[in-house]
Structure 1
Amino acid sequence: MLTRNSADVIVVGAGVVGAACAHYAARCGLSVTVIDRGSVAGGTTGGGEGNLLVSDKEPGPELELALLSTRLWRELAELLPPRIEYETKGGLVVASDAARIRALRTFAAAQRRAGVTAHEVPADRLNELEPHLAPGLAGGVHYPQDAQVQPALAAAHLLRASGARLRLGEEVTGILTGANGEVRGVRTPAGDVHAPYVVNAAGAWGGELARLAGVNLPVLPRRGFVLVTEPLPRVVRHKVYAADYVADVASDAAALQTSAVVEGTPAGPVLIGASRERVGFDRTLSTEVLRRLAAQATALFPVLTRVRAIRTYAGFRPYLPDHLPAIGPDPHAPGLLHACGHEGAGIGLAPATGLLIARLLTGAEPPMDITPFGPGRFPAAA
């Protein structure tokens, strides 16, 4: 018999990935408890821009996951309230010179073979898509499948739709196990919660939760800042970024990297990212990062030089060394499943991740090969 302190599955993390896991598990008939030491979307999700991208992913397992999520986000947009601000705005990747447009053309051709819709845009047609773009660019590629949500609202409404029991402001301090090491629930300051399955959707803190279970998941935080402008008319119609952004996403460097991603929002402000650096969980404001982002954004859109930035916020992307999320059962802790390590793509990849986890929990066939995401690809804890 299930009680307030028991469930079929416990999801640790009330961000958008945890919310998606709860949503799809509940749709499969499971009772779900979601536990978070903070608030809904209080971690990585709340520090994100809401990107739902296929444009930045090379052919392979992550792109396959993104294409599945693209279809699922369309379905969720029909189910969830319009307030999640789901917007199929499309992406525009631009190149500054001939060498970069050749590289972008080759990249887009490979993506098309993998199922991505990508249309090359010659230099003299860029302003038809973005009238305020800087002159002199060499061309670009338009990705109509790229989309956007308001991430905190998406997480909140997914959780509401799931019907999951929420336990917010409760930190998981231990993993309960049985005689053979199998998961039996979690321990919190408010008491033990029992379940035969625990899903680690703790984002950048996923490595800490794994250690409580005595297993290794080498998640590291990768800090990023976003600049927010004053509300504007729709001066930026798509999600626009320079082709160099793709290389930054794939980089292993710990040092600061910035490559402007500029987009308008339904509410009016323009969001300007993206920076990446591994500095632990240091939230110290970096004026150097903000200067770089502003300079790169105004180089793409000179009109923004006359616009005020009214605030900035930081977040931590959950980084794994091979740039693939960990999705699936931990081979060293029966009953523990991981759903974290998506780096900056977690909002976009959340629905597919949630669906895969739900299928694994119920013994159903996953809709794609999950082998590349297996947590067992990392060394066991020492």
Structure 2
Amino acid sequence: MITDVVIVGAGIVGAACARALAMAGVRVTVLERGAAASGTSAKGEGNLLVSDKGPGAELDLAVYAASLWPNLVAELADELGPAFPPLEYERKGGLVVATTDAGAAPLLAFAATQREAGVDARPVSVADALALEPWLNPAITAAVHYPDDAQVQPVIATEALLASARGNGAVVRTGVTVTGATREATGRITGVTTSEGDVRADAVLIAAGPWSGEVAGAMGVHLPVKPRRGMVLVTTRMPHRVFHKVYDGDYFGATQSSDAALQTSSVVESTAAGTVLLGSSREQVGFDERLRVDVIREVAGKALRLFPFLAEASVMRTYGGFRPFMPDHLPVIGEDHRAPGLWHASGHEGAGIGLSLATADLIVAAMLGTTPPLDPAPFGLDRASLAPHLVGETAEPEGEAA
């Protein structure tokens, strides 16, 4: 049985794994080169969605994850007490709409496949959609209501998971850069080398989001995760006029596309603070952090197609973040078949907040040899869909880790 684990990355996936392992009695050390929750987890909208996933392994993982969040929120509130800020968990539901005649039938057909997979996907009339969202553009052509979609404040959630992990014995060290791995003569990984010395462990778990490829490279293996950039616009506070997560049917296609070029779709939702978040965009531009006016213009323009009243809103800020993109659109969760002792929990792209708890449960089951909550095979690095992307891997380190 594994008793010591080093987790590289203090975002929400690493934090969830740290808490779950620590509660199972494993000695955990989390290493983060920056501040906790300062990467992808700080740059998202906190979505906990089932509406944006088609039937298959990721949807199964999302449905299971959705069942975990209410209990976790209650547990953390009891554990951390009133001095810790609330996670702002809200099961607000999602409303997915078509804005063209051509988009109506595909949206309803997609919802039908989700219902067959057990998702509560309810087609509603335009009139009923407007009852749910009175400020929505009445020119929409179809709508589907997803009551199980929810939202959480991702930075607070990450910090809460880390606080709980610490309370259960985990050590969290920030400002520490992982530079490589230590190995036995057999090649088994036995820990990491860092900017502050070696840290030994029975297992090393890479949970560094879009930087996981750099970390893996520093340890001598190739992981085909790439950064996929997205941008979000944030309005100033206003009276609450958006009550669900509302997006157009193009959003699912954008999430599943492998095109590196810019793709945008309309995604609009309010926060507890009264601001409105406008998205979304996807493009592969490496780790280029520069704001692009053309992307901002396109995102804003598409948001107006859903909620025309936003033409009167003021944008308070705009920010971008990097999603960990895998070429087959599934996260990698489990041990690396090429490097015993090395584990992965990465590649969730834009779903890492929602899938973090379920990912942690799979990791704990695999590391401790207990029964997993669902079949882990689709998320293994040795799956057939990733085989073409692992060809040509090198055992030479590829760069400094995160």
Compute the TM-score of the two structures, normalised by the length of structure 2. Answer: 0.92
Per the alignment, residue 101 of structure 1 pairs with 104
Cα distance, 1:245 vs. partner?
A: 0.7
- 2:263 matches 1:257: yes
Distance 2:119 2:309 in 1: 31
Per the alignment, residue 301 of structure 1 pairs with 307
Name which of 192, 198, 207 aligns with 1:186. 192
Letter in 1 for 2:321: G
Per the alignment, residue 374 of structure 1 pairs with 380
Cα distance, 1:232 vs. partner?
A: 1.4
- 2:166 matches 1:160: no
**Deviation by residue 1:149-173 (Cα, 9 ceiling, x = unmatched):** 1111100000111122111010101
- 2:331 matches 1:328: no
- 2:234 matches 1:228: yes
Gaps of at least 5 residues in structure 1 are: 1-6
Large movers: runs of 4+ above 4 Å:
none
Number of aligned residue pairs: give it. Answer: 377
Distance 1:88 1:162 in 2: 25
Any residues of structure 2 matched to 1:355-374 within 5 Å, and which? Answer: 355-374=361-380
Any residues of structure 2 matched to 1:338-357 within 5 Å, and which? Answer: 338-357=344-363
Per the alignment, residue 173 of structure 1 pairs with 179
Per the alignment, residue 150 of structure 2 pairs with 147
Per the alignment, residue 63 of structure 1 pairs with 59
Letter in 2 for 1:185: G
Counterpart secondary structure, 2:119: coil
Per the alignment, residue 4 of structure 1 pairs with none
Distance 2:278 2:101 in 1: 25
Letter in 1 for 2:376: I
- 2:83 matches 1:87: no
Distance 1:114 1:183 in 2: 39
Per the alignment, residue 243 of structure 1 pairs with 249
Letter in 1 for 2:260: A
Per the alignment, residue 54 of structure 1 pairs with 50
Name which of 22, 28, 51 aligns with 2:24. 28
Distance 2:329 2:175 in 1: 30
Compute the TM-score of the two structures, normalised by the length of structure 1. Answer: 0.97
Distance 1:189 1:224 in 2: 30
Percent identity, aligned pairs only, is: 53
Per the alignment, residue 201 of structure 1 pairs with 207
Cα distance, 1:314 vs. partner?
A: 0.7
Name which of 317, 324, 330 aligns with 1:318. 324
Distance 2:34 2:356 in 1: 19
Letter in 1 for 2:335: P
Distance 2:297 2:173 in 1: 40
Give the RMSD, CA atoms, in angstroms: 1.3
Q: Is the 8 A contact 2:108 2:142 kept in 1?
A: no
Distance 2:137 2:147 in 1: 21
Cα distance, 1:213 vs. partner?
A: 2.1
Per the alignment, residue 297 of structure 2 pairs with 291
Cα distance, 1:97 vs. partner?
A: 2.9
Counterpart secondary structure, 1:278: coil
Letter in 2 for 1:55: S
Q: Is the 8 A contact 1:228 1:309 kept in 2?
A: yes
Cα distance, 1:144 vs. partner?
A: 0.6
Distance 2:184 2:118 in 1: 45
Q: Is the 8 A contact 1:213 1:333 kept in 2?
A: no
Letter in 1 for 2:42: G
Counterpart secondary structure, 1:84: coil
Counterpart secondary structure, 1:289: helix
Per the alignment, residue 133 of structure 1 pairs with 136
Cα distance, 1:24 vs. partner?
A: 0.9
Per the alignment, residue 82 of structure 2 pairs with none
